[in-house]
A and B are shown apart, each in its own frame.
Chain A
Amino acid sequence: MGVGEVKETESFREKIARRAAQEIEDGMIINLGIGIPTLVADFIPKDKKVLFHAENGILGTGPSPAPGEENPMLCNAGGFPVTLATGASFFDSATAFAIIRRGLLDMTILGVLEVSERGDIANWIVPGKRVPGMGGAMELAQKAKKVMVLTTHLDKNGRSKIVRECSLPLTAVGAAHLIITDMAVMEVREDGLYLKEVMHPYTVADVIGATEAELKMDEEVRVFR
């Protein structure tokens, strides 16, 4: 498969989410962003108990309600109706962000427009084109204990979203820890960006060829199927 032909399809999204779910440990407090990150919840093994934080004021969101069972006031930060997990609580927006700034989130899972080899994240503005605003992304990226980025490797124009330097205004500096794309799993370390895994059927050469950032390797690169 040619790299330029990679498209964001349902199966790619699910594969990224399935790989991301492997990073989740029992007992974690997790915030899921909109898009691919939302899918991760579907892949967490039942024996791992986690609590999902929604920055609109819920700790302990549950699955989507059955059609007709929605409470329009009870939604996640993406505006979709949710149910509650056992032990859930409600609070105002100041408390929602107190949880984040105080470092009580074990993990936040975000989408990006660009992520750099030093972990800089850009995901809130394309000046002059798309200006949605940062929402809660700055706090989440800056303060969660582990920041996991889920994204397609390439943008719509076939350009690498994994870059040496972000060209877009930043959301947070040096924030990303792990980057999972439809092509690879990469880890941000002090001394650079390491290629840990390739996503089947891509090869190491495919990934290096599609990545603008410098990729380092210090062990055998595994294949995720």
Chain B
Amino acid sequence: MSSKIPMRRKKTTFLTNLRNQKYLLLMLMPGVIWYLLFKYLPLLGLSLGFTDYGFRAKVSFVGLDNFKRLLTSTIFWNAFRNTLIISLANIIFYFPTPLIVALLINELKSVKTKRFIQFLIYIPYFFSWVVVGSIFVNLLSPSTGLVNSVITKFGGKPIYFMASVKHFRPVLITSYIWRQMGYGAVIYVASLTTVQPELYEAATIDGAGHWGRLWHVTLPAIRSTIVTMLLLNLSHVLLIFEQVLVMYNAAVYGVADVLQTYVFREGVLSGDLGYSIAVGMFTSVISLTLVLSTNKFSSRFLEEPIL
């Protein structure tokens, strides 16, 4: 008996809560339905990766056939290799850039100049990939582009950057940095303003020079921002898609085709849905593993899990 009473009380409070919060819950509804439809229902759709869904009216379970197929597909391995190369280049060349630029902006004395630079370099982040891609096409055009006119002025031959197997990946990375760098730099600058000035004073008294202060005060103080940015970067580095979709062309498929564009062509354009879901799942799982292991690493060594 005694155990039943609290249970009943709990139930009534739950019901009264429900009644009291009816407006709040109603407001929540459209959003919750949206999440279920477009974020959680697709999760169930992953199971289609184990079927031959796409070509026939009747869907049948094929087990791991799609995965066996992708492991023997040369186009898949090419896309996989390209994704890894582009991602690695991205981490090496893109990741440190916003931090370095932010540290340099932070050294400026004039607040107005600081603001102006941030204002300026943050603009491209709001341009679509189509616009950014177009800006680069314009800049790199063999006939009217600025870069090639400089090259020819110095006696070189115009380079067809967008169609060149050798130059396409550097163009991808450069345009990625151009669009995304300001976003990272603005975040770092904001986090640099939270470093306590007393720490610098104390370090100076202890005899730390400029590099010493940078190494022992500034970087440790913003390390959680750095790790967060790294995680954010890792979480979509393998999922690179729209940029490549916009900028690549038949001449550079060999070096530019990444996993997501491969999925897009196989799935949306060829209609091979089951197989393309399997490829996508492969990508998502690797990407998730990368993020979770970095998070684990960060919680062990920096004592700061981000997720």
A, B assembled together: no
Q: Which A positions have Cβ atoms within 8 angstroms of B? A: none
